[in-house]
Amino acid sequence: MKTDMTRYLPILTWGRTYNRTALSNDLVAALIVTIMLIPQSLAYALLAGLPAEAGLYASIVPIMLYAVFGTSRALAVGPVAVVSLMTAAALSNIVEQGTMGYAVAALSLAALSGAILLAMGLFRLGFIANFLSHPVIAGFITASGIIIAASQLKHILGISAEGHNLLELVISLTEHLGETNWITAIIGILATGFLFWVRKGLKPLLKRFGMSDSLTGVFVKTGPVFVVVATTAAVWGLGLADKGVSIVGEVPQSLPPLTLPSFSPDLLWQLLLPAFLISIIGFVESISVAQTLAAKKRQRIDPDQELIGLGAANIGASLTGGFPVTGGFSRSVVNFDAGAETPAAGAFTAIGLAIAALALTPLIYFLPKATLAATIIVAVLSLVDFSILKRSWNYSKADFAAVLATILLTLTLGVEAGVSAGVGLSILLHLYKSSKPHIAEVGQVPGTEHFRNILRHDVITDPSIVTLRVDESLYFANARYLEDKIQNRVAKDKDIRHVILQCAAINEIDLSALESLEAINERLKEMDVKLHLSEVKGPVMDRLKREHFLSEMTGQVFLSQFEATKALRPALAT
């Protein structure tokens, strides 16, 4: 029972060894992350089409719940750019933005996503993330980053523009370009330029003045806060809100409210696919960050428990006025670099954000939306990585085609179509690659018991024996390919009397593949050729013994390829 409790409540593991040093490090990390999260949370709420305060609400209770159920010591959970964009794309097709129904639909989307993640965790389905290839996900995130940046240009320019994909956004922006509010544009462009400079140029400048690495890091991370303070003061002091500069306006001065998602079957049905896609993408992004950071400290991440942690966080968001959340890359890296020792750093961050929600919200009344848009643009453009196209082109043309298709479909059809295509392409790519496994004809390396590809090495062969090494498990998608390969090889050479399948790389043979092996055995028998197996793994052999195939096979099963050669052609093996 104790083991089960610690499995589902990791806090019971790290909480027992919590000490003053960990507390001190967690508090410092929480302070830095809180300062960073305030403008970021507000910005991502607007990106999701929700009031600014929803971003703060989505960053408080979810973090605390993850601290209890999550296994990563450094992962910071909350709103992230891609999930916020997917939220807006999903909801805008169902309800009108800015209405009460929109906010309720956001709560329902978070609840549904949380339920999906929780169910996947309880049934230990964390392996599902393995079906999404990294190049495809990188392509989707790159395209999403471009769409997000383009969607924020309307706030930078102070104009109205709509669209769910890049083409629609560009057309809409072009049509309304003449309505540009130049004061807003100046604020937005200066804020964007300054934030880019902070990321690239501030650290070298401060180092030139002899500042330490840790201190320069703090200044770089608090750059967005400086922009928020400066632009808010400028709008307030110069009365720019009266000159058409769009501002955040009144933000409720309160802790997250208790809320309930809608349980309407019609709404939940419409949100089911978006919730599933958000869950999968959010989990993949989160687990990638968590495992990367954990590896640096030789810590262990449990993917199934991560699903439970993220599921609890999303359900918490749905009950406290939030929207779908996941582990964010930038804030998690900042949390790690700032010295976070345990998930308690996240809980302290939540407390800091709660204080901000109670005490600081009146101060952001005059915060221009252009500043928040600048924050989003600078954050998401760091996700854009076109180098994945060059890498995939050089390494695998099939991967390149999948990445390019994902990018183009996301840009032209929108994020939902893009991520759906990404999931489909990842699975199709796997099926395509495994449907045509590498099958090498091998021969004996002189003076050894090793066998290698006849096209790559100088080896000894015998005209009466053909040995084929299959470098893939055999299943329904590739069984016919093996049949054709053997048929073509044997049919053109009348001297062949033995075919040996070297099975060292075969981890499984399903029923379809077994039927294909039976067909191969019968065809070879008609040609007066015997079929043999070598180096069959134990679990595969156990399954083969349950059927009659081995008793009907014309040849034998050998422990090693060398033993097979020695038995069938003694002169060759010496």
Model confidence pLDDT, tens digit, residues 319-353: 999 999 999 887 888 788 778 888 899 899 999 99
Condensed to tens digits (0 to 9), the pLDDT of residues 70-91 reads 988 888 899 998 899 999 989 9
Do the bridges between strand 77-78 and strand 326-327 make them parallel or antiparallel, or are there none, so unpaired? antiparallel
- Given a contact cutoff of 8 angstroms between Cβ atoms, the answer to whether 244 and 155 are in contact is no
| pLDDT of 412 higher than 70 | yes
Give the span between the Cα atoms of 69 and 77, in whole angstroms: 12
Task: Please tell me the predicted confidence (pLDDT) of residue 138.
Answer: 84
Is the domain of 67 the same as that of 208? yes
Closest CA to 42 of 9, 75, 79, 15: 79
434 within domain boundaries: no
Full-model pTM? 0.80
Structure tokens at 204: 């070298």
292 or 218, which is more confident? Answer: 292
State what percent of residues in the chain have pLDDT above 70. Answer: 97
Q: Looking at the domain assignment, is residue 561 inside a domain? A: yes
Query: C-alpha distances in angstroms, 485 versus 141, 477, 499, 505, 526?
Result: 40, 14, 12, 17, 17
Side chain identity at 537, as an amino acid letter? K
In a shared domain, residues 53 and 98? yes
Residue 169: band (very low, low, confident or very high) from pLDDT cuts 50, 70, 90: very high
CATH of the domain at 525: 3.30.750.24
3-state secondary structure of 124: coil
Per-residue pLDDT, averaged over 141-154, amounts to 91
For residues 332 and 471, membership in a common domain is answered with no
Whether 41 and 188 share a structural domain: yes
- Output the six-digit token pair for 539: 């679990």
pLDDT of residue 230: 93
The predicted pLDDT at position 570 comes to 65
Residue 455 lies in a domain: yes
- Per the model's pLDDT, the better-predicted residue between 204 and 457 turns out to be 457
Per-residue pLDDT at 513: 95
Alpha carbon 156 to chain centroid, angstroms: 29
Sign of CA pseudo-dihedral 304, 305, 308, 310: negative
Q: What average pLDDT does this structure show over 442-449?
A: 93
Instruction: For the chain, state the CA radius of gyration.
Output: 30
Residues 418 and 443 in one domain: no
pLDDT band at residue 25, thresholds of 50, 70 and 90? confident
Q: What pLDDT was estimated at residue 4? A: 63
Whether residues 414 and 455 fall in one domain: no
Range of lowest pLDDT (126-130, 230-234, 280-284, 288-292): 126-130
Domain that includes residue 520, residue range: 439-573
Q: How far is CA 105 from each of CA 251, 265, 412, 450, rounded to the nearest angstrom?
A: 20, 12, 26, 63
389: amino acid identity, one letter:
L
| 572 pLDDT higher than 60 | no
Say how many domains are in the chain. 2
pLDDT band (50, 70, 90) for residue 420: confident
Residue 547 and residue 461 in one domain? yes
The amino acid that residue 522 corresponds to is E
In this predicted structure, the answer to whether residue 574 has a pLDDT above a threshold of 50 is no
| Domain end call among 395, 429, 463 | 429
Inter-CA distances, 324 with 23, 48, 321, 404, Å:
29, 10, 11, 28
Q: Is the pLDDT of residue 265 over 90?
A: yes
Q: Is the dihedral of CA 360, 365, 368, 373 positive or negative?
A: positive
Average pLDDT for 381-406: 88
Domain end residue (candidates: 429, 462, 484): 429
Q: Considering the domain boundaries, does residue 88 fall inside one?
A: yes
Answer whether 246's CB lies under 8 Å from 155's CB.
yes
Six-digit token string for 181: 């509010």
* Same structural domain, 375 and 422: yes
- In this structure, are 410 and 272 located in the same domain? yes
Give yes or no for a contact between 35 and 349, defined as CB atoms under 8 angstroms apart. Answer: no
Q: Which amino acid is at 199?
A: R
The answer as to whether 68 is a domain residue is yes
Calculate the average pLDDT of the chain: 89
Q: Are residues 29 and 110 in the same domain?
A: yes
- Torsion sign over Cα 163, 167, 172, 173: positive
- Residues of the chain with pLDDT > 90: what percent? 56
Domain end point (choices 397, 429, 461): 429
Q: Which residue has the tokens 């523009």?
A: 161
- Range with top average pLDDT, 1-10, 12-21, 244-253, 481-490: 481-490
Is the confidence at residue 522, as pLDDT, over 50? yes
Residues 119-125, mean pLDDT to the nearest whole number: 91
Residues 524 and 403 in one domain: no
pLDDT at 3: 52
Nearest partner of 144 among 425, 406, 426, judged by Cα: 406
Is 238 domain-assigned?
Answer: yes
pLDDT of residue 218: 67
Q: Classify residue 304 by burial, with Cβ atoms within 10 Å: 0-12, 13-18, 19+.
A: middle
Residues 221 and 164 occupy one common structural domain = yes
Q: Is the pLDDT of residue 103 over 50?
A: yes
The pLDDT of 240-265, averaged and rounded, is: 91
The helix/strand/coil state of 147 is helix
48 occurs within a structural domain: yes
